[in-house]
Amino acid sequence: MGKYLAQNEKVLCGYRPAFSNSSWLQIHELFEVQKGEFPWQVSIQISRKHLCGGSIIHRWWVLTAAHCFQRTLLEMRGVNVTVVMGARKSSDVKLERKQVQKIIIHKNFKPPHFDSDLSLLLLATPIQFTNFKMPICLQEKESAWDRCWMLEWPSRDYS
């Protein structure tokens, strides 16, 4: 685990170990993500069915959208919310499933509007970082982006 920690116990973030030599591709179409390409991306599931995507931001925390968790859903007893990480398919030995201990929805989120559409998931146990599970970087100040990735989970792979 030492190679994932920098000085002062800061974890490397936003690093794609399996793709460290890859260059920016000028492609504006869909393509299949390769294994390990986005190690911060997770599948948030309810009763083992994909609900939403999210990003690892800390060994205990996952960031996602607040609209994924409707109030009626949260009020149901026995709802089993888990986070799946480290793999693209349920048959992958690197797949890890973590229980969600607590869901925190941004206090200013008011559906149907998407302002403050943020939610934090506190995991029941911490993530052990590997090349397939590591945090995304969070910007410290607001800035304009010139490029970004949008990922989508194929729900059939995680049933």
Q: What percentage of the chain has pLDDT greater than the value 70?
A: 65
Both tokens assigned to 92: 């992958």
Higher-pLDDT residue of 127, 8: 127
* Mean pLDDT of the residues in the chain: 77
Distance CA 137, CA 69 (A): 24
Q: Do 124 and 99 contact (CB within 8 A), yes or no?
A: yes
**Residue among 51, 38, 43 nearest 137 (CA):** 38
pLDDT in tens, 34-92: 777 889 999 999 888 888 999 999 999 999 999 998 765 555 555 789 999 987 766 67
CA neighbours closer than 13 Å in the CB half-sphere of residue 107 = 0
DSSP state of 111: T
155: Cα separation from own chain's centroid = 15
Q: Which residue has the tokens 């393509």?
A: 31
* H or E segment and range at residue 74: helix 71-75
pLDDT at 86: 87
pLDDT at 48: 85
Classify the C-alpha dihedral 25-30-34-38 as positive or negative: positive
Task: Give Cα separations from 113 to 67, 110, 117 (angstroms).
Answer: 9, 6, 8
Domains of the chain in sequence order: 39-137 (2.40.10.10)
